[in-house]
Every structure is written in C-alpha cells, then in structure tokens.
Amino acid sequence: MALSVLLFRNPLAIVVVLSIVIGLLMVVLFGYTSNQKAIKIAKDQLKAHLLAVRLFQEQLHVVVGSYGRILRGTGRYLRLAFMPLLYVIIPITLLIVQLDRYLGVAPVQPNAPFLLTVQASSADALSGASLDLPTGILTTAPAVHVPADHEVVWRLAASREGTYDIGVATGGDRVTKRVKVSSELSRLSPVRFRGRFWERMFRSSESAIPDNSPIESIAINYPERTIRLAGYELNWIWLFFIFSMIAGFIFKELLGIQV
C-alpha cells in the first residue's frame, strides 16, 4: 500500500517502473517483429569490418574500404532496425502522449497566477470576449488583447484546489476550458482546440470546440514539470529514454534477442 502511494506520488518512481516495463516489452516486441537472423548478420559484419581496420591497418586500401563498408553496414543495420521500430512506434507514441499528460506538465497551484489564452479566427471575434469564472477562480489583472495574433490573455489565480470549468463568452457563443488546481499528479489538458484532429490527439484530452464557434483554441499555461535526479532538473522524457534503454539492453542480453 505504502509502495503504491509512493509510486503514485513520485514521478521519478513512476518513470523508472514504466521504463523497466516498457524496456522489457520493447525488447520482446523487437524480437518478434524483427528479422533476428538478418540483424545478427548485419551486426556481425559490422564487427568484422571494424576488426578488418585493426587487422589490416598497414593496408590503406583495406582501412578505407572497411570504413566505407562500416557506413554501408550501419545503413543496413538501421534499415533492419527501422521496421520493428515502425511496429512499436505507434503504441509507444500513444503511451508517451498519455504519460506526458501526467508527467509533462504540473497542475496549477492554489494562489499561483496562471494565464488563460483564447485564440479566435479573427480579432473582431474577441472584441467583446468575457470570462465566466467559477467560484474559487479570480482574475488578477485586466485582459490583454493581442489583435495581431487574434488573441486575448487573462491572468487568473485559484484560491483552492479543485477542477474548474472556466467559461469564455464571445458574440453570444460560450465555450468552456477545464483547469486543474492541485498538488497531486493529475491528468492535464493544456489546450482545447476547434478541429485540428492530430494536434488535439497529441496535446489535448478535451472534446473539440464546436465548429461554429469563432474560438479556435483556449490554452492554460500549466508549468512544465521537471524531475530532479543527481542534481539535474530533467524532463521525464529524457529519463524515460535513458532508463528504458538501460532496461532494454539488460533484457536483450537475458532473453538473447538481437537488437
């Protein structure tokens, strides 16, 4: 129980556990989806050409020729590694997207100011824009209009933790944007879009703004989350990259899979 609480609250622990699990899954998937024999041969031949440079170092034509073969061999190896990579890239990418909603940004803290940016299709559409604020959310500064970008920005603050729906009214139309104020790990959606399917898929977890609305997007500037490790503040994706690769290299040896 204590461990699960620790895991749930500690982003570093989450990243480490996920990296190990995904490292293992990746190796197994790689083993199943790749041409293991061809990869072994490609790697062996690369090693052979490396050894040739050493063995025949007196023969310049061999050194130069081997170097060319190493480059070609590397290309062949990358090509062989690319196909299994394609097979796993979609599930892993979707997983990364989901994880990024938890680990990429942090929720707004109580009493800490944050910005809400509304972008419309034209500057006119925002001339009479106003906010419909729920209880617990306050504006801390007047709205700033940026006509050139068709934007209007509000600075807001929340007095206590909670999930709020902030309404944006313009020209008789009303669109809401959800904001989370919390000190826990939460699933966050930094932006809500109109249309823009691919961007919505990768950056938003809210439904699309109706097509007839003049508002194109509403964004909250959640602070970026970093994880402290060995004195460095790092984005979770880098830690995931490093840990999952270490796990992968260990598992590939244990499982005898050519990578």
Is 194 an interacting residue with respect to other proteins (CB under 8 A)? no
Is 240 an interacting residue with respect to other proteins (CB under 8 A)? yes
Q: Per this entry, what is the length of the chain?
A: 259
CB-wise, 88 or 133, nearer to other proteins? 88
Residue 50 host element (H or E): helix 36-55
Is 66 an interacting residue with respect to other proteins (CB under 8 A)? yes
- Number of residues binding to other proteins, judged by CB under 8 A: 76
Largest CA distance in the chain: 82
Member of 11, 69, 103, 157 binding other proteins (CB under 8 A): 69
Determine the residue type at 137: I
Residue 28 host element (H or E): helix 11-33
Interacting positions 76-95 with other proteins (CB under 8 A): 76-78, 80-90, 92-93
Is 8 an interacting residue with respect to other proteins (CB under 8 A)? no
Is 21 an interacting residue with respect to other proteins (CB under 8 A)? no
CB neighbour burial string for 212-229, b if at least 16 within 10 angstroms, e if fewer: ebbbbbbbbbbeebbbee
Is 229 an interacting residue with respect to other proteins (CB under 8 A)? no
Angle at 108 between CA 103 and CA 114, to 5 degrees: 125
Nearest distance from residue 218's CB to other proteins, in Å?
A: 20
Is 18 an interacting residue with respect to other proteins (CB under 8 A)? no
